[in-house]
A and B are shown apart, each in its own frame.
Chain A
């Protein structure tokens, strides 16, 4: 009731008057509303960030807080860039990010493309498919250790049943060859629905009349897919890829629980190395420098991401 009257009044009010009423201490109110958020982020994100930058130039160790802190200049950064282990960790991360994104994009897009056919019950089954991505990667990842157990684990049992490999030989987590794939499988299982959901939005955003025009021009289904479906859904696919890229670049919880970086360091992604350096070897200064390098890398990705995001928004 109020809304309708208000609406009519608003329409009847000349613009300058409306502006005048709106203008009273708006600026103050805006800052009053926004500043608590900014202050919180400054305290919990930015202040620690500057602290980490300071620490990255020192030899500080968090487990020896009373020891004299020495300024090392850029030595930590130089050591990181020359550290073989760090480069191996970056390669492991790149392998993980590349394969998870490739698998999730291909499977996710295919699923979206099939769901877009709108068969009976598609809404229900879509919700079922979406469930894994809402769950805690740590808690579910932990349970996958059980599924991966040789012999007694369901996953290992099914694999040995299907392939005929003796059940004791299906060792997903303790085998150097298989461990990286074990984490890729769990991540793909968990996050393919995420890519699927975004791709589905992309497919649904393609107007019907474009396909109708293509039909009139007698374009084949194959041709329609490559010249209409894929290019028009591409911004959405890109969005999903960037999102997953950033998330998996930071990957910690699932890998920490599944393999802890092992066996040896075969699944030691960047975040695991960081945790080992910072919270096990207590090389706080050194790991801060590594954290800053990672942050700069993610920030670069984030920049690209926000640009792509705005592009999708404009559609």
Chain B
């Protein structure tokens, strides 16, 4: 018997493959229904969104997006008729509900806060993380294992437990409800992930490159800059995306430590209300806009995901 046939004995049969495929596809389809529903709801009108039975086929509308970006006031039909022609799609949609646009909503500033805080903290975490990871990877650091465990252990604290003293500390320092305060906090949380992930990536780069570069006359710092960093770009990019996703998605700290000027999107989106309760199409619109960047990143990261979620423990 040849080796190839011995192998095929172990390989799953065509039938078992087919059954496995059907179950997996079914699970995948069911599990993305809530996400498709968010997307669909964002294009419904408020009455359509709360219809019974839930509407699968409906007339698409931009009302959810209009409501997300604006604040509106109720007016009499006479007043609305006295206005000139509608200036845009949103103006027209809103007028049908006897409302006029009063101004922009807080969504854009909150979204911008999310961007500033996520990118700011990611930059700091990856910068500090790369330096530390290189230090741990290449030098004999006394108590290295203890320090690495200390760095990781800070990640295990329940966020609310950390938030109590941080709340008091920030109140003393005037960092409450500031972007700087949130960037510092998210950097501290993310740096543990960055150090662990990047140490794994840098460990994989052979030391000989730097040693050779140094023999060619580079200093250690130049060798780090010119040979290690260029080879670690994939690892650094993957780490940055993981940090970005964490900071982007974070809710507990943001909800407890920000209330106004520095509030990010996650605590803001659940507070979007219309007349008589939650404005679900507007919430869905905000959620859709908020989730799209993450979807893109997930697809980009799909081959590094395993490494990221296990702090570099499992590398495939």
Residues of A bordering B, CB below 8 Å = 2-3, 5-11, 13, 18, 21-22, 24-27, 29-34, 36-38, 40-41, 43-49, 51-52, 55, 62, 111, 114-115, 117-122, 125-140, 142-147, 149, 151-154, 157, 167, 189, 193-194, 197-198, 201, 204, 208, 211-212, 215, 236, 239, 243, 246, 249-250, 252-253, 256-257, 270-271, 274-275, 278-279, 284, 287-288, 291-292, 294-295, 298-299, 301-302, 306, 309, 312-313
- Please determine whether B17 and A146 come into contact, CB atoms closer than 8 angstroms: no
Q: Does B86 sit within 8 A of A, measured CB to CB? A: no
When distances are taken between beta carbons in the complex, the residues of chain A under 8 Å from B310 are 198, 239, 243, 309
**Cβ-neighbour of B227 out of A6, A117, A152 (below 8 A):** A6
When distances are taken between beta carbons in the complex, the residues of chain B under 8 Å from A9 are 212, 215-216
Q: Does B180 sit within 8 A of A, measured CB to CB? A: no
Q: Does B159 sit within 8 A of A, measured CB to CB? A: yes
Taking A7-B212, A139-B291, A239-B313 as contacts, is the C-beta distance between A152 and B129 under 8 angstroms?
A: no
**Cβ-neighbour of A45 out of B6, B162, B270, B314 (below 8 A):** B162
- Please determine whether B158 and A118 come into contact, CB atoms closer than 8 angstroms: no
When distances are taken between beta carbons in the complex, the residues of chain A under 8 Å from B316 are 201, 204
- A27 smallest CB distance to B (angstroms): 7
Question: 8 closest A-B pairs (Cβ-Cβ)?
Answer: A6-B212, A138-B251, A48-B165, A291-B161, A136-B249, A33-B135, A119-B21, A44-B188
**Cβ-neighbour of A309 out of B153, B158, B313 (below 8 A):** B313
- Please determine whether A41 and B154 come into contact, CB atoms closer than 8 angstroms: yes
- A132 smallest CB distance to B (angstroms): 6
**Cβ-neighbour of B51 out of A11, A147, A152 (below 8 A):** A152
- Please determine whether A21 and B211 come into contact, CB atoms closer than 8 angstroms: yes
Chain B residue, CB-CB nearest to A197: B306
- Please determine whether B160 and A275 come into contact, CB atoms closer than 8 angstroms: yes
**Cβ-neighbour of A130 out of B214, B251, B283, B298 (below 8 A):** B298
- Please determine whether A212 and B191 come into contact, CB atoms closer than 8 angstroms: no
When distances are taken between beta carbons in the complex, the residues of chain A under 8 Å from B21 are 117, 119-122, 125
Chain B residue, CB-CB nearest to A119: B21
- Please determine whether B211 and A278 come into contact, CB atoms closer than 8 angstroms: no
Taking A21-B215, A121-B21, A253-B251 as contacts, is the C-beta distance between A151 and B34 under 8 angstroms?
A: no
- Please determine whether A284 and B164 come into contact, CB atoms closer than 8 angstroms: yes
Which of B7-15, B71-79, B91-99 binds A?
A: B7-15
- B294 smallest CB distance to A (angstroms): 5
Hey, what's the 0/1 contact readout for B35-48 against A, CB within 8 Å counting as 1? 10110010000000
Chain A residue, CB-CB nearest to B52: A151
Chain A: interface secondary structure? helix
Interface residues of B in 144-200 (CB under 8 A from A): 147, 149-154, 156-169, 171, 184-185, 187-188, 191-192, 195
**Cβ-neighbour of A215 out of B6, B52, B249, B299 (below 8 A):** B6
Taking A3-B209, A24-B220, A152-B54 as contacts, is the C-beta distance between A52 and B131 under 8 angstroms?
A: no
**Cβ-neighbour of A142 out of B31, B134, B169, B269 (below 8 A):** B269
Taking A119-B21, A122-B21 as contacts, is the C-beta distance between A299 and B252 under 8 angstroms?
A: no
Q: Does B255 sit within 8 A of A, measured CB to CB? A: yes
When distances are taken between beta carbons in the complex, the residues of chain A under 8 Å from B185 are 44
Taking A45-B154, A111-B24, A274-B160 as contacts, is the C-beta distance between A10 and B34 under 8 angstroms?
A: no
CA–CA, A47 to B172, complex, Å? 14
Could you show 26 A-B contacts with beta carbons less than 8 Å apart? Answer: A6-B212, A7-B208, A13-B212, A18-B215, A21-B214, A29-B220, A44-B187, A51-B168, A55-B168, A117-B12, A132-B32, A132-B34, A134-B297, A134-B298, A136-B250, A139-B287, A143-B283, A146-B278, A151-B52, A154-B54, A198-B314, A204-B316, A249-B158, A252-B158, A252-B160, A256-B251
